[in-house]
Structure 1
């Protein structure tokens, strides 16, 4: 495994238990500075994240991928071991196209793309997948699949901007040949498969192509989690009261960085439920400033989220709507208070809410303790939310083919057979006019117009003749 690092906190991070041979590449000073900007997103607790951020995000990610390309170029001697292994297949995140010149350098012919997001129209459209903004919300959409006229308009604008502002450079210079350009727009469609962090039993339904393999929930092992035992500390916390609600806003936007009035409001809402333990992932020690004397809140800087979600004593979960958390809580069957903060979390919140086990609130609602209290009350005491969440959990547990099996079988298939041009839809070669049958519609309209005109002139001639004859009589 090759792990070129961007965020400093993930340097020498062990991603898997079984993979022992891992080659790490530390970030360059410039790349580390860019990574620090990713970690500094606390402004989105109060700032809106919409399609207006697309141009800026495009420039930012282009800088990251270009700098990672340069960083790899400056460390090619360290990759000699990789080159000698003669790999059959390389898998990389579709947004980090700097893997393409690395693939060329290592002599790897076959590749597969992976996406940590559920849906991103630009890359999927480039593979030939039909993308319909009329009913499929895009990455940054705030809507569900049932959109108003205004929401459909915004969805179209979002997809247009995502297409115009690419998130990777237009080309890279080959490591072996300085005169050779590697163009992502031409290379990416040659992928054997694209693995998306989506699950058809959870996500919005849409048309896909054979190359698109949905593996959302691949990291959730229900049997292991349900049979596991929590450490004593967490076991005791879950035994304090009959109901426990977990609050965690992820690892990018931290609870400690939310506005102070949000913290006060959340604490006041929790105080109204003395029979409920609130387990809050909070990354600082200043809790007395807003929650002093409230005995039913347990603060912790870290917690085993998946294991706690799997415990039957947990009653509900409040989350920011990251796809990792959504996949986990969906498999575990817990009712959810969804409070999306940025990026694709708005889409993800709508995606889960359509299954009726979720109460969605805005991040701006966090300053209103009455709204927060009402959301808590619904997921804690309205059984309909628990029933709906468990029904979704059962569907995911008994889905015909598990995400892990889908991934392994398709990776083995790609490694054996290489590139799969037979899966490349011809629609990619069609013009806009051909694809949307505008030529057929135009011919049909012309023929219909010609027929109408013919009928008009014939009728006019007949009526004129009849009128003349009547006049003579």
Structure 2
């Protein structure tokens, strides 16, 4: 009996030690909304017993040095993509968009902003150089015995350090330097897969397909220029002259994709792509009392929520006045995340806040409408809770995100160019509020999104732990990333077969010509 008891204790201790053994994870995050969703993932990893270490720069805006759920390593830098720089950039872009035609707006983003984007990546490169030039920091990182590197590959510094430390690499990803991540690795027929920036759906006319191809080529050119001007130089300096950044970036073991196929259009994918769209969404928690009182005061009319995201503190004054005047004409109560000057014509039904529990508000039974800029996080939360959207996209992927909801009947879109003309804002809001089809369509999408065998966050955690258990996931990784483009598209094979065909054709022609001359050669009369 005593022997059985001892064996049982040993077995329990063994099982407990296996369950409680946490991984050691090195993280390279990005500021702004990218940090908001990375933070959700890090908290979940910490709750499962994993040790989290974050590398941040000394001028970090969102990523704090001290935390209860991660350790931090701070790298001193002279420059950073701080709040002031980002705010000024966004204000400039908004001012341009308001007066621009669609064609000039596109070329401004594709060409005019190119220098700004390159400079942003150079600032990140300076951060990476500061890391690699600090030998004590590198020694500390090597001695820490990390199990994997988790990074957002929108910036490239984490990719290079993962290779330097020879660690498995996991992406929290939607963007890879200058484009949507699928296009970097998965087969992507341009005939039915829309490129971000085109505003196309998966049902394209001939001219839309022409636009799709042109935008793809421009994006590839941008990617090549930005990589060659920044990260490729870092690779050659710190990893050796034969290092190729593009190959490194495509060799990640696991790609945690921040989309799913309720939001994204169906398309080919890869075995190491794990979809966790909406992983940051949770059932609504009780609101702070002052917000709950305000929401309940809306009665049967319900509440409208407006937020323009992490980077936009306030729209131009004339625009906010137009929006405030429109809100004042509505019977609904409005909660508006707004940090600028108080609009002069703000109605009694509108509450201005610096911060709000967006997910919890969207999940409240009285929520009727979400007015948003179209960032991935907000769009996913609206989809999760089944709330229709009026979108005001500003830049980058926002219009395309909102187009996916509009195409499925759950949203209306207003451009920044037309927002304050002819009461367009009020008309769009009233249409979505009064037409029940918008809410019905979003609730249908919500049911589809939630009907999964495993929650997106749990799925992401499982696969990260899978990579740690098996020291990578090479068996899921295609070798296509090692192939030059002419081999990937079989251009060399096509040219070879075409050459063989020409050789055979030429040989047959020569043989037939010789045969003809032999058979049909006129006889010479002999005397």
Deviations 1:119-142 (A, max 9, x none): 96575455x421233322233333
Aligned residue among 54, 57, 60 for 1:2 = 54
14 and 205 in structure 1: CA distance in 2 versus 1, 3 angstrom threshold: farther
1:310 has 2:366 as partner: no
Q: Which residue of 1 aligns with 2:171?
A: 113
User: Once the 2 structures are TM-superposed, how far is the Cα of residue 281 of structure 1 from its aligned partner?
Assistant: 1.0
6 and 327 in structure 1: CA distance in 2 versus 1, 3 angstrom threshold: farther
1:287 has 2:343 as partner: yes
State whether residues 3 and 25 of structure 1, in contact with CA within 8 Å, keep that contact through their aligned partners in structure 2.
Answer: yes
Q: Which residue of 1 aligns with 2:421?
A: 368
Between 1:335-344 and 1:368-377, the stretch displaced more is: 368-377
User: Once the 2 structures are TM-superposed, how far is the Cα of residue 184 of structure 1 from its aligned partner?
Assistant: 1.9
SS at match of 2:423: helix
384 and 445 in structure 1: CA distance in 2 versus 1, 3 angstrom threshold: farther
- 5+ residue gaps, structure 2, are 1-52, 97-104, 510-527
Between 1:183-192 and 1:345-354, the stretch displaced more is: 183-192
424 and 51 in structure 1: CA distance in 2 versus 1, 3 angstrom threshold: same
Q: Which residue of 1 aligns with 2:79?
A: 30
Q: Which residue of 1 aligns with 2:521?
A: none
1:314, 1:122 → 2: CA distance? 32
Aligned residue among 189, 192, 212 for 1:152 = 212
1:214 has 2:275 as partner: yes
SS at match of 1:365: coil
User: Once the 2 structures are TM-superposed, how far is the Cα of residue 13 of structure 1 from its aligned partner?
Assistant: 6.2
RMSD: 3.4
Q: Which residue of 2 aligns with 1:467?
A: none
- Using CA pairs below 8 Å that are at least 6 residues apart, which structure has the higher relative contact order? 1
State whether residues 65 and 74 of structure 2, in contact with CA within 8 Å, keep that contact through their aligned partners in structure 1.
Answer: no
User: Once the 2 structures are TM-superposed, how far is the Cα of residue 428 of structure 1 from its aligned partner?
Assistant: 4.1
Q: Which residue of 2 aligns with 1:468?
A: none
Q: Which residue of 2 aligns with 1:462?
A: none
Q: TM-score, normalised by structure 1?
A: 0.81
- 5+ residue gaps, structure 1, are 455-473
2:471, 2:196 → 1: CA distance? 30
2:279, 2:432 → 1: CA distance? 26
Deviations 1:281-333 (A, max 9, x none): 11034322xx25x2222211221111111111111100000111011111011
1:90 has 2:145 as partner: no
State whether residues 122 and 163 of structure 1, in contact with CA within 8 Å, keep that contact through their aligned partners in structure 2.
Answer: no
Show the 5 A alignment for 1:438-453. Answer: 443=498
1:188 has 2:246 as partner: no
State whether residues 279 and 300 of structure 1, in contact with CA within 8 Å, keep that contact through their aligned partners in structure 2.
Answer: yes
220 and 120 in structure 1: CA distance in 2 versus 1, 3 angstrom threshold: farther
1:39, 1:418 → 2: CA distance? 41
1:102 has 2:161 as partner: yes
SS at match of 2:419: helix
Q: Which residue of 2 aligns with 1:67?
A: 126
1:169 has 2:231 as partner: yes
State whether residues 133 and 155 of structure 1, in contact with CA within 8 Å, keep that contact through their aligned partners in structure 2.
Answer: no
SS at match of 1:346: helix
SS at match of 2:409: coil
378 and 356 in structure 1: CA distance in 2 versus 1, 3 angstrom threshold: same
2:200, 2:468 → 1: CA distance? 38
Q: Which residue of 1 aligns with 2:524?
A: none
2:146, 2:383 → 1: CA distance? 36
2:412, 2:240 → 1: CA distance? 56
Aligned residue among 404, 424, 428 for 2:477 = 424
Q: TM-score, normalised by structure 2?
A: 0.74
2:84, 2:239 → 1: CA distance? 31
Q: Which residue of 2 aligns with 1:143?
A: 200
1:232 has 2:289 as partner: yes
1:440, 1:178 → 2: CA distance? 35
1:174, 1:412 → 2: CA distance? 32
Between 1:382-391 and 1:35-44, the stretch displaced more is: 35-44
User: Once the 2 structures are TM-superposed, how far is the Cα of residue 414 of structure 1 from its aligned partner?
Assistant: 1.3
